Amino acid sequence: MFHKRKRKCRACENAFLLDYKKADELKQYMNRLGKILPKRATRLCAKHQRRLAIEINRARKLALLPYVGEREAMRVRR
């Protein structure tokens, strides 16, 4: 029998705070297009994933983070 290993939340484990003023830290939870990465990719628990989304949206409203990503990433390659 295989047991699914319980994943630890990075925020709970290291006790760090997600803050909209730390745009460089928040950028690692976004892809090149500017979308927020899902919970399975960020390895955060549901509570911290919701907090992350709130903080990223606050940073976007204050123009610390972009709403859309890099121009090169959005180009369609043929």
Q: What's the pLDDT at 5?
A: 76
pLDDT tens for each residue of 3-27: 877 778 888 888 888 999 999 999 9
Cα distances from 30 to residues 2, 37, 41, 56, in angstroms, run 32, 5, 10, 9
Q: What's the pLDDT at 15?
A: 85
CATH of domain 10-68: 4.10.640.10
**pTM, rounded to two decimals:** 0.81
Instruction: Find out whether 17 and 50 touch, Cβ atoms under 8 Å.
Output: no
What backbone phi and psi angles, to 5 degrees, belong to 16? -100, 155
What backbone phi and psi angles, to 5 degrees, belong to 30? -125, 150
Domains in the chain: boundaries: 10-68
pLDDT of 55 over the 90 cut:
yes
pLDDT tens for each residue of 37-52: 999 999 999 999 999 9
CA dihedral 50, 68, 62, 30 (to 10 degrees): 40
Count the alpha carbons within 13 Å of 33 in the hemisphere toward its beta carbon. 6
Q: What's the pLDDT at 74?
A: 67
